[in-house]
Amino acid sequence: MKRHVYQGRTDEYFEILDLEVGDQLPQDPIDGQLSLYWFQEDDNCLIIDAKDYVFAKNQMICLTSLHKVIVQKLGKVRYIRFNSPFFCILNHDSEVGCKGILFFGSSNLPILTPTTADLEVFETVWKMIQLEMDSRDNLQLEMLQMMLKRFLILCTRVYKNQENYKAIDKHQVDLVREFSFLVEQHFKEKHTVAEYAEILNKSPKTISNLFGKVSDKTPLQIIQSRILVEVRRMLRYTDKPVSEIGYDVGYNDIQSFSRFFKKHEGMSPTDFRVKV
């Protein structure tokens, strides 16, 4: 394993790793960390939020500290993690434009599949980050932030290209991102498209038509998917009673909650908990 860590004087944390087969990901938690996996081999098997995924060579995924990850099989992988004191994507959204796309995008797990041309640029930026990690002057923090920003911008471009964001203009892209971000913030108490449309000062029909151009999910499905992600997390990783889990995501009636979950998952919350 090749590991490079930057720690600043005011809690800034930035880390990159080149992991070989058999190496373990760092287990020390970083408060509020964001992370990125860049798989260097095929057939990587991870369970993320109680759902099975298999990732191919050169695919990338972006995760927050909320994601629950269990590694079943991992080949060579490049790994980045950082915290908000190092680089806050919310405060710098106008610079990188990845809020609601790469991170904090409600139910969406962004899986990037770069082209050969994209990979050449990623390789260059990765090498530049490695070189800068060995620097120890007073410009290192600014240089590393700039490199990370460049990497995130490249990831955002890749995702927009593969998800047909070219079909809409910049204002509409920002609206899609803001909707996804709002769902991430409010999914526990707001369950209808109309509630989010009101915040965005748009009609529910406008929101629905927009998502029809760039997503295979309707806005309502996005809201419901985010609720289901949270429920699966709590069923799999906590001992909370089913009724309490339902209450946590905005269902006061256990029967309504159970019907909602069974409709989408094909089994009751209790059966799901036993299965996983």
For residue range 22-46, list pLDDT tens digits in order: 888 887 878 889 999 999 999 999 9
Asked if 276 and 50 touch (Cβ cutoff 8 Å), the reply is yes
The predicted model scores a pTM of: 0.90
- Give the whole-angstrom CA distance, residue 127 versus residue 65: 26
- Give the whole-angstrom CA distance, residue 14 versus residue 30: 10
Residue where the block lists tokens 């090498």: 127
Annotate the chain with DSSP letters as a single string. Answer: -EEEEEE-TTS-EEEEEEEPTTPPPP-S--TT-EEEEEE-SS-EEEEETTEEEEE-TT-EEEEETT--EEEEE--SEEEEEE-TTT--TTTTHHHH--BTTTBS-TT---EE---HHHHHHHHHHHHHHHHHHT--STTHHHHHHHHHHHHHHHHHHHHHHHTTGGGS-HHHHHHHHHHHHHHHHHTTT--SHHHHHHHHTS-HHHHHHHHHHH-SS-HHHHHHHHHHHHHHHHHHH----HHHHHHHTT-S-HHHHHHHHHHHHSS-HHHHHHH-
How many C-beta atoms surround the C-beta of residue 21 within 10 A? 11
pLDDT at 106 (0 to 100): 66
C-alpha torsion angle, residues 186, 95, 48, 68 (rounded to 10): -70
Backbone phi, psi, residue 199, to 5°: -60, -40
Backbone phi, psi, residue 149, to 5°: -60, -40
Domain residue spans of the chain: 2-163, 170-275
- Give CATH for domain 2-163: 2.60.120
Ranges under pLDDT 50 in the chain: none
CATH superfamily of 170-275: Homeodomain-like (1.10.10.60)
For residue range 222-245, list pLDDT tens digits in order: 999 999 999 999 999 999 999 999
- Tell me whether domains 2-163 and 170-275 share a fold: no
